[in-house]
């Protein structure tokens, strides 16, 4: 079965990084999910473009539950997610990579759980470590092996989007301890935890956030920076896949719902 998935953010829609690529789709209780499956380093890997293959899905309308459910259904145990982010931290400059270790959730209208009562009941999942520590370590090791500089920690502030943030909001987020701002990592990370999957995010800084940036923010700026660093993000992801030892991650992610009898599809 497929044990590894890449969930690609803005600028990472390139299943050509895999060989023998084929298109597949999976039905879930939340709708149909289309994705690619290919091979790398002797491992089957699923590739799921978060915004759709043509970047046609706004961040607040992404079907996060369907995406994570589909990956769980096909057997995925390890998810490497990529995100494009603005920086609130002057030391995390455009072009830098950050391995996120915490988040602040400022989304508004998204359903962030598989458990809303009824037949599935209600759970209260622990997110003391929202991102798999072993996958985070693997990505860090991949960066070292490739001589790619990476910030090993960062607090991701997730906003609703699709608009960019005001300078006042950015000032508030910075005072609360945020380092990065983006629109997609929540509820994706939480749903992966509920589904008892190892999940880690590597973010690429594309710009300084509003009020820090000396010029108005544009989506073109995001895409331009991603394009300039696309080879490095691909190299980093593929090296990370090489380093993942299937079935040997001794982390707690796979037992996140143990007290509730485990996650059930």
- Residue 123 is predicted with a pLDDT of 96
16 pLDDT band (50/70/90 cuts)? low
Least confident range of 9-18, 30-39, 86-95, 145-154:
9-18
138-153 residues labelled b (16+ CB within 10 A) or e (exposed): bbbebbeeeebebbee
- Residue 9 is predicted with a pLDDT of 63
Instruction: Kindly report whether the peptide bond that precedes residue 43 is cis, defined as omega within 30 degrees of 0.
Output: no
- Residue 1 is predicted with a pLDDT of 81
Judge whether residue 205 has pLDDT over 90: yes
How many whole angstroms separate alpha carbon 186 and alpha carbon 206? 19
Instruction: Give 94-134 pLDDT, tens digit per residue.
Output: 889 999 999 999 999 999 999 999 999 999 999 999 999 99
How many whole angstroms separate alpha carbon 12 and alpha carbon 201? 13
CATH class of domain segment(s) 4-260: alpha beta
- Residue 29 is predicted with a pLDDT of 97
Judge whether residue 262 has pLDDT over 90: yes
- Residue 13 is predicted with a pLDDT of 54
Instruction: Provide the residue ranges of all domains of the chain, joining segments of one domain with +.
Output: 4-260
228 pLDDT band (50/70/90 cuts)? low
How many whole angstroms separate alpha carbon 25 and alpha carbon 37? 10
- Residue 222 is predicted with a pLDDT of 66
**Encoding tokens for residue 179?**
């380092």
DSSP the chain: ---EEEEE-TT---GGGSEEEEEEEEEETTEEEEEEEEEETTEEEEEEETTTTTT-S-GGG--HHHHHHHHHHTT--EEEEEEEEEESSTTS-TT-EEE--EEEEE--S----S--SGGG-------SS-S-HHHHHHHHHHHHHHT--EES--EEEEE--SSPPPHHHHHHHHHTT--EEESSHHHHHHHHHHTT-EEEEEEEEEEEPTTTSSS---HHHHHHHHHHTHHHHHHHHHHHHHH--TT----SGGGTTGGGT----
- Residue 8 is predicted with a pLDDT of 84
Q: Return the closest-CA partner of residue 263 out of 123, 135, 134.
A: 123
Q: What is the mean pLDDT of residues 58-72?
A: 96
Handedness of CA 130, 132, 135, 140 (dihedral sign): positive
Cα angle vertex 65, ends 62, 66, to 5°? 80
- Residue 51 is predicted with a pLDDT of 80
182 pLDDT band (50/70/90 cuts)? very high
Judge whether residue 169 has pLDDT over 80: yes
- Residue 213 is predicted with a pLDDT of 66
Cβ-proximal residues to 216 (8 Å cutoff; 6+ apart), any chain: none
Question: 210, 88 in Cβ contact below 8 A?
Answer: no
Q: Please state whether 6 falls in left (phi above 0), alpha (psi between -120 and 50) or beta.
A: beta
């Amino acid at each position: 079965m497929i044990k590894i998935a890449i969930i690609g953010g803005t600028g990472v829609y390139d299943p050509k990084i895999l060989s023998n690529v084929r298109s597949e789709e999976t039905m879930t209780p939340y709708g149909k999910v289309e994705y690619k499956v290919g091979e790398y380093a002797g491992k089957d890997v699923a590739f799921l473009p978060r915004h759709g293959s043509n970047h046609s899905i706004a961040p607040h309308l992404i079907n996060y539950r369907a995406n994570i459910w589909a990956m769980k259904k096909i057997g995925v145990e390890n998810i490497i997610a990529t995100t494009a982010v603005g920086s609130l931290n002057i030391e995390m400059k455009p072009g830098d990579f950050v391995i996120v270790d915490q988040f602040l959730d400022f989304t508004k209208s998204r359903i962030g759980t598989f458990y809303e009562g009824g037949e599935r009941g209600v759970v209260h999942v622990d997110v003391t470590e929202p991102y798999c520590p072993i996958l985070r370590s693997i990505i860090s090791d991949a960066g070292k092996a490739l001589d790619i500089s990476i910030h090993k920690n960062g607090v991701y502030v997730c906003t609703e989007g699709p608009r960019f943030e005001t300078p006042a909001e950015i000032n508030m987020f910075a005072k609360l301890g945020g380092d990065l701002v983006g629109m997609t990592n929540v509820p994706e990370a939480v749903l992966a935890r509920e589904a008892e999957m190892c999940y880690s995010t590597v973010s690429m800084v594309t710009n300084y956030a509003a009020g820090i940036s000396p010029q108005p923010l544009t989506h073109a700026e995001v895409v331009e920076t991603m394009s300039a660093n696309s080879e490095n993000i691909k190299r980093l992801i593929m090296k990370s896949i090489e380093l993942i030892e299937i079935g040997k991650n001794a982390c707690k992610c796979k037992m996140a719902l143990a007290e509730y009898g485990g996650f059930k599809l």
